[in-house]
Structure 1
Amino acid sequence: MREETFKKRKPKIVVIGGGTGLPVILKSLKEKDADITAIVTVADDGGSSGVLRRSFNAVPPGDLRNVLTALSEIPELQREIFQYRFKSDDRNLDGHTIGNLIISAMTDMHGNIYEAIQLLTKLMRVRGHVFPAAEEPLNLHAQYVDGSTQTGESKIPKKGKKIDKVSVTCVEKERPVKASRKVISAIMNADLVVLGPGSLFTSILPNIMIPDIGDALIETEAKVVYISNIMTQLGETEELNDADHVRVLHKHVGGKFVDIALTNIGIVPEDYIEQEINEEYLLQVEHDFKGLKAEVPMVISDDFLLLTEKSVYHNGEKVAEEIFKTAFNSQRKIKKYL
């Protein structure tokens, strides 16, 4: 009887990342009967987010905005307004989204990004929890294989050099980098922790290079899943296959912590790659099953492709179904971590 009651609770799924891939998965995962927590990168320094980050010396809002929208249950028109991006001759407005401005305003009103996001989750009827990875903006640093360095998430890929490793610091460097409140407890109390999909060096690693998040990923009893990217990215992952992506994660954290690799084996049509309008993406990430098995205990491989006129995406519904099944089967009696 006790086991039956245990099995009926919602599996706790924590998703960590940023960029455009994460909202695709969250939007589909929202429809599952799961307790979802999204932990979102705070190292972005480009575009509207970068301008607002510098203006307010605050956490960049863009990735948080996209996650809030993906998990929101407000009417479509309200989501469209939240995501609307100004195209204006006024330099003060051009390129900014309404959502970015709202998040920045609420952070200014309440004095910190954590309180602002928690209030917005209520106002936007978010199904789940959204936490910034840290409560202050972080600088992302890269060291390339040739020994040179670069600081700035938006600048790192533009060097066109092979990245050896990345790290993060607070903008005010004398302070240690710390995870936002409730982030560590969410990881420790999860049934499943999901990394990605997203840019390996600039969307995923900025989160797990926060020391207490990296430690939590090693220590948690939850299964850790890595969703491999579909395409290689200019200035980040040229020539890296799916096993290489996992090796990079393990190298940065200092040990093997990924339990499951979810990887696409569907073939992106060659003529589609040739007409790919987003020049950031290069070629399809190659599948190395043998290499993955040397890094992780379990590999989930399938055709996870969704091809649109604009780009190549993961099929959110198929990925969410695999994540939910894995989380449900991984449920455990949780010792509450405070």
Structure 2
Amino acid sequence: MPYGETRIVRVIKARRPRVVVIGGGTGLPVILNALKDQNAEITAIVTVSDDGGSSGSIRNFINVVPPGDIRNVLVSLSDLPQEEKDIFQYRFDSKDSFFSGHAIGNLIIAALNEMHGNIFEAVQVLSKMMKVDGQVFPASNEPLTLHAEFADGTVEHGETEITGLDKRIKRIWVTDANNQEPRSVLPVLAAIMQADAVVLGPGSLFTSILPNLMIPKLGEAVRETPAEVIYICNIMTQRGETEHFSDSEHVAVINRHLGGNYINTALVNGAKIDMSKFHPEDYDEYLDPVTNDFAGLQAQNCRVITDDFIDQRSGLVFHDGKKVAKEIINLAFEAMSRKRNE
């Protein structure tokens, strides 16, 4: 640059992509932990209709939102030392009639709910204590009851009862403690509307993903958000929920409950699964690999991204969080670019 010439340099700092992940179950923390490593601005919206295990027992005793999925999500996004996270996750093996099987974190969440009067505030306080990188929001401020109508026209209530019948589910809906339509809270709706990517799954289709979308305002936000709506398709079919389902059938069920083709992109595993690594007890819940039906997905105006998305090192098959997170971030940046050009 010649002497005496001045140049104005504009430095534009790009913001982190805003990613909202909606769901519950064991697959959600895997994705969240990987997204955290991708430097995303993460909001996790967590299912509150679980009524089994420690969460169900606590819910029945003190009528609190089931804390198990919230606990696992908090740990996945926490910057605490591993030893402190292990304490939060510790599950009592005592034969005591109450503490047996309960995780310490579940009890802490229940206590904070009682102290602050609602689960949303309790989780925000605990998020600060646990140095959570991101936001963790319960889908609703109150425990919800899951209802299902089956293909044969019968109806059942409660997650455990519904999946235990091992019947084909036609549709599900949720109600609050007064058997009314449940409500979400404004920060949940704002996060969805401001997101670059809204991610559904992975997780149980009818009991971890759809219950959130059946909260009226939350489902409306997913329909109206300018974000890329992404579905991480399950790797295995699940007893009591998705026997013999293809990937396109998973997406079709979500779209049907939302009332239109709202899934923009599906992340689908294309790798072969080694079924010989499964133990007989694994078949109590998981059945067969989800089959691919790319034509069926495209017929729903759904873009398909397929890859070897599996991690089977431990025998059971999980999503490879790093690969999935990279695809989500790429899609989020695409959405950010579209917004700038509009």
TM-score range normalised by the length of the shorter chain: over 0.9
Which residue does the alignment assign to 2:194? 189
Residues 220-235 of structure 1: matches in 2 within 5 Å? Answer: 220-235=225-240
1:169 aligns with 175
Partner secondary structure for residue 277 of structure 1: helix
- Alignment match, 1:151: 157
Structure 2 vs 1, CA of residues 253 and 92 (structure 1 numbering), >3 Å: closer, same or farther? same
| Equivalence for 2:146 | 140
| Partner secondary structure for residue 261 of structure 1 | strand
Q: Which stretch of structure 1 is more off in the superposition, 264-273 or 11-20?
A: 264-273
What's 1:256 paired with?
A: 261
CA distance in 1, matches of 2:338, 2:125: 30
Partner of 2:318: 313
Does residue 56 of the first structure (1) align with residue 39 of the second (2)?
no
Alpha carbons 2:49, 2:66 under 8 Å: kept: yes
Q: Which residue of 2 aligns with 1:129?
A: 135
Deviation at 1:310, TM superposition (A): 4.7
Instruction: Report the Cα offset of residue 276 of structure 1.
Output: 6.2
Q: Tell me the residue number matched to 2:33.
A: 27
TM-score, structure 2 normalization:
0.94
Query: How many Å separate the matches in 1 of 2:304 and 2:10?
Result: 28
* Counterpart residue identity of residue 308, structure 1: R
Q: Is the 8 A contact 1:199 1:233 kept in 2?
A: yes
Matched AA of 1:287: N
What CA distance in whole angstroms lies between the structure 2 residues aligned with 1:178 and 1:30?
Answer: 28
Q: Partner letter of residue 59 of structure 1?
A: V
Further displaced range: 294-303 or 242-251? 294-303
Query: How far did 1:2 drift?
Result: 12
* 1:294 lines up with 2:293 in the alignment: no
Distance 1:54 1:310, change over 3 A: farther
Residues 74-93 of structure 1 aligned to structure 2 (within 5 Å): 74-93=80-99
Deviations 1:51-79 (A, max 9, x none): 11111111010000000000001000111
Match of 1:43 in 2: 49
- Report SS of the residue matched to 1:114: helix
Distance 2:301 2:77 in 1: 30
Larger Rg over CA atoms? 2
CA contact (8 A) 1:276 1:310 kept: no
Corresponding residue number in structure 1 for 2:4 = none
Distance 2:119 2:220 in 1: 23
Contact 1:276–1:311, Cα closer than 8 Å, also in 2 = no
- Which residue in the other structure is 2:221 paired with? 216
Cα distance change of structure 1 residues 4 and 33 upon mapping to structure 2, 3 Å threshold: farther
Alpha carbons of 1:276 and 1:94: their partners in 2 closer, same or farther (altered >3 Å)? closer
- Post-superposition, which runs of at least 4 consecutive aligned residues in structure 1 deviate over 2 A? 1-6, 272-278, 332-335
SS in 2 for 1:295: coil
Amino acid at match of 2:316: S
> Which whole-Å CA distance do the structure 1 matches of 2:155 and 2:30 have between them?
32
Partner of 1:37, secondary structure, is strand
Question: Which letter does structure 1 place at the counterpart of 2:257?
Answer: H
Map Cα deviations across residues 100-135 of structure 1 (whole Å, 9 max, x no partner): 000000000111001100011110010100000000
Counterpart-to-counterpart distance in 2, 1:2 and 1:330: 27
Determine whether 1:10 maps to 2:16.
Answer: yes
Change in Cα spacing, 1:134 to 1:274, as seen in structure 2 (3 Å) is: same
Instruction: State yes or no: 1:328 paired with 2:333.
Output: yes
Distance of aligned partners of 1:45 and 1:3 in 2 relative to their CA distance in 1, 3 Å threshold: farther
Tell me the equivalent position of 2:3.
Answer: none
TM-align CA RMSD: 1.8
**Counterpart among 110, 113, 129 of residue 107 in structure 1:** 113
The alpha carbon displacement at 1:324 in A equals: 1.1
Letter in 2 for 1:28: A
In the TM superposition, what is the alpha-carbon distance from 1:334 to its structure 2 partner? 7.0
Q: In the alignment, residue 128 of structure 1 is paired with which amino acid?
A: G
Which region of structure 1 is more displaced relative to structure 2, 275-284 or 222-231?
275-284
- State the alpha-carbon separation in 2 of the partners of residues 93 and 141 from structure 1: 29
Unaligned runs of 5+ in 2: 1-7
Indicate the residue corresponding to 2:282 in structure 1.
277
For the residues of structure 2 that align with 1:272 and 1:310, how far apart are their CA atoms?
5
**Pair 1:92–1:310, CA change in 2 (3 A):** farther
Q: CA deviation at 1:308?
A: 3.1
- SS of residue matched to 2:306: strand
CA distance in structure 2 between the aligned counterparts of 1:324 and 1:293, rounded to whole angstroms: 22
The answer to whether the 8 A contact 2:278-2:316 is kept is: no
| Conservation of the 8 A alpha-carbon contact between 1:189 and 1:334 | no
Q: How far, CA to CA, are the matches of 1:279 and 1:310 in structure 2?
A: 15
Aligned residue identity for 2:91: R
How far apart are 1:4 and its partner, in Å?
7.6
CA distance in 2, matches of 1:64, 1:188: 22
Between the two proteins, the alignment pairs up a number of residues equal to 333
1:199 aligns with 2:204: yes
Percent of pairs with identical residues = 51
For the 8 Å contact 1:37–1:129, the answer to whether it is kept is: yes
